[in-house]
């Protein structure tokens, strides 16, 4: 099989891998599981903060590792660490062991984030089909959201029987994802041989940051994407306990989450149509307004909370596909994994602040008040980022940015 066929095959493999990756049986029950294990809302918030602190520490280095040693290597390593983390979640009973499990789980995600996405984009670019990326990534996002919907539904049903069943089944799925990851082919990326001498990791990080300095619109798009992602993740995870306190069973909560995943899948698949209609400015404003509306609705209209929960899923699906295309189209291939890892790093930074804060406030004041406070906190940040994005106009192609960065490096 020639290299072009292998790279095209990467796309087919990505559909299977992405499905297994998002078939995360525990995604809709882990907050309930930790509460069952004796963790308070504040402790759950701190565990999630530990997860994202790990992301801050390891995200850029793991992205650079993927660019230097290969995206396939990074994806495989991530799946191995993920299996270990899942086993620890099964065997743990105290806060600090859970903290280790969350640390390993974050490291696994660090190794995967950016790498799997960059692998798809660079495979398409190598065969001259990068213009299809938005459509293909939308399809992948659709597959991932469907997998997430199936996972949360199965997870809720299994957890209603016994939490252990969900975590054991989840571990098996992670092992299958690891097996599939070995089928990927590494896209060839040209590298300057002189820059392979010395500390290549440090060089990779510094040069990638220079890319962001040259192309500020990418930097602010990453911040905006991370902000929206942290909003959706906070709502999604704490809604498990929110709906539980309203008297819903684990299976019902799983059905609600599955519905959200279905809406997210449909939104992801049709995101390119939304972006084509509203363009960049309209897309950013629309997603911002809808998210603030959803948080406000969950604060003041509890009887419609399921509707507003689903609304955050819809905007999450739109943002996931649209921002991925915006960012990938504006960065050079040899720094892609590192810069996409910076995207995940920014997401972790937002989550470190928001998630434990939400848990602390919710523990003292309840969920409805907390949703309102978070909405108020998000408004000025969103306005600031919209103004910054308006200020920075579109730059030149990624190839020109590469030349400008190399000039600065010399």
Task: Please state the rounded mean pLDDT for residues 180-196.
Answer: 67
Higher local confidence (pLDDT), 32 or 341: 32
The confidence band for 322, taking pLDDT boundaries of 50, 70 and 90, is: confident
Q: How far apart are the C-alpha atoms of 25 and 178, rounded to whole Å? A: 16
175: pLDDT strictly greater than 90: yes
> Nearest CA to 347 among 234, 229, 233?
229
Domain ranges of the chain: 3-184+200-409
DSSP-derived secondary structure for 257-322: HHHHHHHHHHHHHTHHHHHHHHHHHHHHHHHHHHHHHHHHHHHH-GGGHHHHHHHHHHHHHHHHHH
Higher local confidence (pLDDT), 343 or 23: 23
The confidence band for 407, taking pLDDT boundaries of 50, 70 and 90, is: very low
Judged by average pLDDT, the poorest of 1-5, 79-83, 151-155, 376-380 is 1-5
Q: Whole-model pTM?
A: 0.64
The confidence band for 207, taking pLDDT boundaries of 50, 70 and 90, is: low
| pLDDT tens-digit readout, 103-141 | 998 888 878 876 777 777 778 877 777 677 767 877 887
The confidence band for 100, taking pLDDT boundaries of 50, 70 and 90, is: very high
pLDDT of 84 reads 92
Q: How far apart are the C-alpha atoms of 107 and 109, rounded to whole Å? A: 5
CB-CB neighbours of 376 under 10 Å: 12
> Mean pLDDT for the chain?
78
Of how many residues is the chain composed? 410
Q: How far apart are the C-alpha atoms of 189 and 69, rounded to whole Å? A: 11
Long-range contacts of 195-198 (CB under 8 A, 24+ apart): none
CATH code: domain 3-184+200-409 is 1.20.1250.20
DSSP 8-class letter at 335:
G
Q: Residues 296, 300, 305, 309: what is their CA dihedral angle, to the nearest 10 degrees?
A: 10
Q: How far apart are the C-alpha atoms of 60 and 203, rounded to whole Å? A: 12
Higher local confidence (pLDDT), 242 or 334: 242
Q: Are 214 and 404 in contact (CB under 8 A)?
A: yes
Q: Are 227 and 316 in contact (CB under 8 A)?
A: no
pLDDT of 196 reads 46
pLDDT of 194 reads 41
Judged by average pLDDT, the poorest of 214-223, 258-267, 334-343, 348-357 is 334-343
pLDDT of 219 reads 80
């Amino acid at each position: 099989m020639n290299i072009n066929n292998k790279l095209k095959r990467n796309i087919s493999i990505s559909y299977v891998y992405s499905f297994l990756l998002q078939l995360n049986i525990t995604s809709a029950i882990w907050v309930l599981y930790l509460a069952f294990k004796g963790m308070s809302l504040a402790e759950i918030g701190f565990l999630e903060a530990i997860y994202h602190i790990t992301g801050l520490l390891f995200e850029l280095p793991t992205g650079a590792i993927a660019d230097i040693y290969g995206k396939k290597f990074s994806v495989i390593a991530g799946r191995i660490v993920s299996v270990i983390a899942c086993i620890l979640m099964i065997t743990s009973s105290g806060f600090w062991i859970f903290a280790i499990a969350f640390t390993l789980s974050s490291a696994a995600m660090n190794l995967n984030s950016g790498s799997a996405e960059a692998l798809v984009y660079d495979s398409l670019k190598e065969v001259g089909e990068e213009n299809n990326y938005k459509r293909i990534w939308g399809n992948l996002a659709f597959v991932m959201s469907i997998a997430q919907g199936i996972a949360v539904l199965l997870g809720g049903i299994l957890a209603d029987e016994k939490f252990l069943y969900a975590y054991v089944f989840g571990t098996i799925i992670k092992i299958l994802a690891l097996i599939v990851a070995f089928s990927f082919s590494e896209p060839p990326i040209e590298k300057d041989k002189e820059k392979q001498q010395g500390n290549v990791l440090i060089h990779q990080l510094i040069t990638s940051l220079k890319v962001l300095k040259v192309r500020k619109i990418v930097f602010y798009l990453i911040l905006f994407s991370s902000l929206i992602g942290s909003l959706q993740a906070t709502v999604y995870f704490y809604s498990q306990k929110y709906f539980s306190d309203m008297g819903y069973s684990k299976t019902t909560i799983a059905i609600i989450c599955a519905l959200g995943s279905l809406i997210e899948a449909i939104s992801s698949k049709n995101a390119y149509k939304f972006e084509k209609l509203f363009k960049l400015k309209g897309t950013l404003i629309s997603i911002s307004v809808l998210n603030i509306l959803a948080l406000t609705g969950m604060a003041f209209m509890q009887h419609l909370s399921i509707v507003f929960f689903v609304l955050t899923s819809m905007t999450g699906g739109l943002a996931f596909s649209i921002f991925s295309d915006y960012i990938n189209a504006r960065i050079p291939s040899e720094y892609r994994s590192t810069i996409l890892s910076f995207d995940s790093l920014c997401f972790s930074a937002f989550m470190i602040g928001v998630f434990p804060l939400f848990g602390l406030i919710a523990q003292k004041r309840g969920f409805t008040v907390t949703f309102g406070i978070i909405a108020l906190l998000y408004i000025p940040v969103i306005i600031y980022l919209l103004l910054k994005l308006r200020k920075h106009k579109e730059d030149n192609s990624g190839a020109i940015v590469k030349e400008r960065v190399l000039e600065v490096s010399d």
